[in-house]
Amino acid sequence: MSRPSRSRGFSLVELMVAMALGLVIVGGVVSVLTANKRSYRANEGLAQVQEAARTAFELIARDVRQSGNTGCDNAAR
């Protein structure tokens, strides 16, 4: 009779430790991604506010430049 070859594999404890480490890594990645998404949304909102302010200042500047214009006034005659 020949001796049966003993196949070696991972034990249950080794598999559980590997799965726990994998979950910790996946949790960290998900945490980083959600923080990145939150930061992107905040920056996008700030950019929209700045764009609206720039447009408002341009409109105000145009109105101020035109305030000295007499237009169709006949007072100069």
67: pLDDT confidence band, cut at 50, 70 and 90? confident
70: pLDDT confidence band, cut at 50, 70 and 90? low
Per-residue model confidence as pLDDT tens digits over 31-51 = 999 999 999 999 999 999 999
pTM as predicted: 0.58
Q: What is the largest CA-CA distance in the chain?
A: 128
Give me the DSSP letters along 2-64: PPPPPPP---HHHHHHHHHHHHHHHHHHHHHHHHHHHHHHHHHHHHHHHHHHHHHHHHHHHHH
- Element of type H or E holding 77: none
User: Looking at the predicted structure, is the pLDDT value of residue 12 above 60?
Assistant: yes
What are the distances in angstroms from CA 49 to CA 6, 59, 76? 69, 15, 43
25: pLDDT confidence band, cut at 50, 70 and 90? very high
